[in-house]
């Protein structure tokens, strides 16, 4: 039987996954990446280190299935950030999407009115880690480095390049990065000029559909990875969109929630005709958009809590934490948690915190508040999508929170909508693999690939009326506390940071 290889390169982990054509996972391997922080606010990963992590993950994955018949490769990667090659296609600099060095450029763009003009053309809000904002920062602050740039890539483009030797980009990543002028469905000098990048058009790679074959595995890449030389490599896909595809969400009206490091909330639409702006839009195939609201406020909060407060005690892991939460009796006096450990978007410099703690509260009570606070953050994003006139009447859940015994039901109760859980744990890699399958003709389009390769838990979680009634006033308190803390977050805590 043939296999497809999906690669998912996030900010912290690179994964390689072999799938049968029915979506069955045959092998998984991962390689942790190191984030370099030479200065406060900087988050870098050299381009060569990305490639080394990819080769290690692929080799380890293939070693688990020596008889694999890999017929195509697709990569997904974290969006935004900036990975640059020089004019000779040699690695130059890698900046991750959690970098904040360009915050001053965001402020300048907003004050000048260019941010609004950028949104009108790109359907993206400007923020510190977006690719063109970082590029404009380099132009102003590192002009000698900027002059050496020959190619501007996203994370998954690095993988496609080293596998195939070709330099390429895809519409989902480029649009999610604010580089696509939706008036022309491509790059435009007018859009780049708003970033003060009128000279940068030659630096941007040719655009391809995510499922389009851009090259084949070179003999050198084959030697390094163990892949067969000559098998097709597709352009690849923005990891946020890949997770939606790997969850079966590809048609207008379908919605995806990814609860991992980031709170990703997205819905497929035919046209970006919104009543109000949304955070990000990414193109998916030729005639659809993914409307996205997101921030770094999701299940990574649990990772932090376990790391800092578990102390190796029994019941300290993610599964055991879920078991503790399941035993908590809902009570109006439970604490409330703001999940802003990593702040939010630029215009929301929030901080995390527990509110209403008393001496009788237990670790289980705090974990309940954390689970609920993360879910409330997802709801806040979904409320923004709804306010923009977008349907969000049911959703498919993936990411770390989806594997909890209690969190998926809490999503159903807090959002008051039916929730279905994706069975595959590696939805980003599966989305990339489905793109590869479409690229080599296994399926005619993403919808056909999803129908064959994506499996959902057959149990659809319905909202529990009593729990909906319990969470609703607590969500209002969550938002009231947020408004009360807003001035302190803006003035005092940020002055001390």
The CA radius of gyration of the chain, in Å to the nearest whole number, is: 22
186 CB-near residues (< 8 Å, 6+ apart): 180, 207
Comparing CA positions, the residue from 11, 8, 27 lying closest to residue 19 is: 27
pLDDT in the model for residue 73? 99
Q: If you write DSSP's letter for every residue of 175-198 in order, what string do you get?
A: HHTT--BTTTTB--HHHHHHTT-T
CA 101, chain centre distance (Å): 20
Residue ranges of domains in the chain, CATH in brackets:
2-235 (3.30.420.40), 247-496 (3.30.420.40)
Please state, in angstroms and rounded to a whole number, the distance separating the CA atoms of residues 493 and 495: 5
Please state, in angstroms and rounded to a whole number, the distance separating the CA atoms of residues 106 and 132: 11
Please state, in angstroms and rounded to a whole number, the distance separating the CA atoms of residues 334 and 331: 6
Burial of 294 (0-12, 13-18, 19+ CB in 10 A): buried
Please state, in angstroms and rounded to a whole number, the distance separating the CA atoms of residues 376 and 144: 45
Please state, in angstroms and rounded to a whole number, the distance separating the CA atoms of residues 134 and 328: 45
List the alpha helices (DSSP H) in 287-362. 300-309, 318-326
The answer to whether 203 and 196 have CB atoms below 8 angstroms apart is no
Angle at 327 between CA 323 and CA 328, to 5 degrees: 120
Per-residue pLDDT of the chain (497 residues; tens, 9 = 90+): 899 999 999 988 999 999 999 999 999 999 998 899 999 889 999 999 999 999 999 999 999 999 999 999 999 999 999 999 999 999 999 999 989 999 999 999 999 999 999 999 999 999 999 999 999 999 999 999 999 999 999 999 999 999 999 999 999 999 999 999 999 999 999 999 999 999 999 999 999 999 999 999 999 999 999 999 999 999 999 999 999 999 999 999 999 999 988 899 999 999 988 999 999 999 998 889 999 999 989 998 999 999 898 765 544 589 999 999 999 999 999 999 999 998 665 456 788 999 999 999 999 999 999 999 999 999 999 999 999 999 899 999 999 999 999 999 999 999 999 999 999 999 999 999 999 999 999 999 999 999 999 999 999 999 999 999 999 999 999 999 999 998 888 775 555 55
DSSP state letter for 22 = T
Q: What values do phi and psi take at 194, rounded to 5?
A: -65, -25
pLDDT in the model for residue 345? 52
DSSP helix/strand/coil, 56: helix
Burial of 206 (0-12, 13-18, 19+ CB in 10 A): exposed
Please state, in angstroms and rounded to a whole number, the distance separating the CA atoms of residues 235 and 488: 45
The answer to whether 52 and 213 have CB atoms below 8 angstroms apart is no
Please state, in angstroms and rounded to a whole number, the distance separating the CA atoms of residues 131 and 138: 11
3-state helix, strand, coil in the chain (%, to 5): 40, 20, 40
DSSP state letter for 111 = H
How far is the first Cα of the chain from the last one, in angstroms, to the nearest whole number? Answer: 55
The answer to whether 56 and 31 have CB atoms below 8 angstroms apart is yes
What angle do the packed helices 446-453 and 427-439 form, to 10 degrees? 130
The answer to whether 259 and 400 have CB atoms below 8 angstroms apart is yes
Q: What values do phi and psi take at 401, rounded to 5?
A: -65, -25
Helix (H) / strand (E) containing 401: none
Parallel, antiparallel, or unpaired: how do β-strands 25-32 and 13-20 relate? antiparallel
Q: Which residues pair with 282 in a beta bridge?
A: 290
What angle do the packed helices 103-112 and 114-122 form, to 10 degrees? 90
Please state, in angstroms and rounded to a whole number, the distance separating the CA atoms of residues 324 and 270: 42
């Amino acid at each position: 039987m043939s296999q497809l290889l999906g690669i998912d390169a996030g900010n912290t982990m690179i994964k390689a996954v072999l799938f049968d054509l029915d979506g069955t996972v045959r092998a998984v391997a991962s390689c942790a990446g190191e984030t370099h922080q030479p200065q406060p606010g900087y988050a870098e990963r050299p381009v060569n280190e990305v490639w080394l992590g990819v080769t290690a993950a692929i080799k380890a994955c293939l070693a688990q299935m020596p008889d694999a018949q890999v017929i195509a490769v697709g990569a997904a990667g974290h969006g935004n950030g900036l990975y640059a090659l020089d004019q000779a296609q040699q690695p130059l600099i890698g900046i991750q999407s959690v970098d904040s060095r360009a915050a001053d450029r965001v402020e300048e763009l907003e004050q000048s009115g260019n941010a609004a003009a950028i949104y009108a053309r790109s359907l993206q809000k400007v923020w510190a880690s977006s690719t063109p904002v970082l590029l404009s920062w380099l132009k102003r602050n590192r002009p000698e480095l900027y002059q050496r740039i020959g190619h501007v890539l996203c994370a998954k483009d690095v993988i496609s390049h080293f596998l195939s030797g070709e330099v390429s980009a895809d519409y989902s990543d480029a649009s999610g990065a604010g580089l696509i002028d939706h008036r022309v469905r491509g790059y435009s000098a007018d859009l780049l000029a708003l970033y003060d990048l009128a000279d940068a058009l030659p630096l941007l790679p040719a655009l391809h559909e995510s499922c389009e074959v851009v090259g084949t595995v070179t003999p050198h890449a084959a030697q390094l990875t163990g892949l067969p030389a000559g098998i097709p490599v597709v352009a690849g896909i923005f990891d946020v969109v890949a997770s939606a595809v790997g969850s079966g969400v590809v048609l207008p009206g379908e919605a995806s929630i990814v609860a991992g490091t980031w709170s990703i909330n997205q819905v497929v639409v035919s046209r970006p005709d919104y009543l109000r702006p949304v955070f990000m839009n990414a193109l998916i195939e030729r005639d659809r958009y993914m409307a996205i609201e997101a921030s770094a406020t999701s299940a990574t909060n649990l990772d932090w809590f376990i790391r800092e407060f578990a102390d190796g005690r029994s019941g300290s892991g993610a599964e055991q934490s879920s078991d503790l939460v399941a035993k908590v009796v809902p009570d109006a006096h439970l604490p409330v948690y703001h999940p802003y450990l990593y702040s939010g978007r630029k215009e929301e410099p929030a901080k995390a915190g527990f509110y209403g703690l008393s001496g009788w509260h237990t670790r289980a009570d705090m974990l309940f508040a954390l689970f609920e606070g993360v879910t409330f953050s997802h709801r806040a994003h979904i409320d923004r999508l709804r306010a923009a006139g977008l349907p969000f009447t049911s959703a498919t859940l993936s990411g770390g929170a989806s594997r909890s015994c209690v969190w998926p039901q809490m999503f159903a109760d807090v959002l008051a909508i039916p929730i279905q859980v994706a069975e595959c744990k590696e939805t980003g890699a599966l989305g990339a693999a489905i793109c590869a399958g479409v690229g080599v003709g296994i399926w005619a389009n993403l919808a056909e690939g999803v129908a064959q390769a994506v499996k959902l838990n057959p149990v659809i979680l319905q909202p529990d009326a009593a729990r909906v009634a319990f969470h609703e006033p607590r969500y209002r308190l969550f938002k009231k506390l947020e408004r009360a803390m807003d001035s302190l977050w803006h003035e005092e805590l940020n002055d001390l940071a």
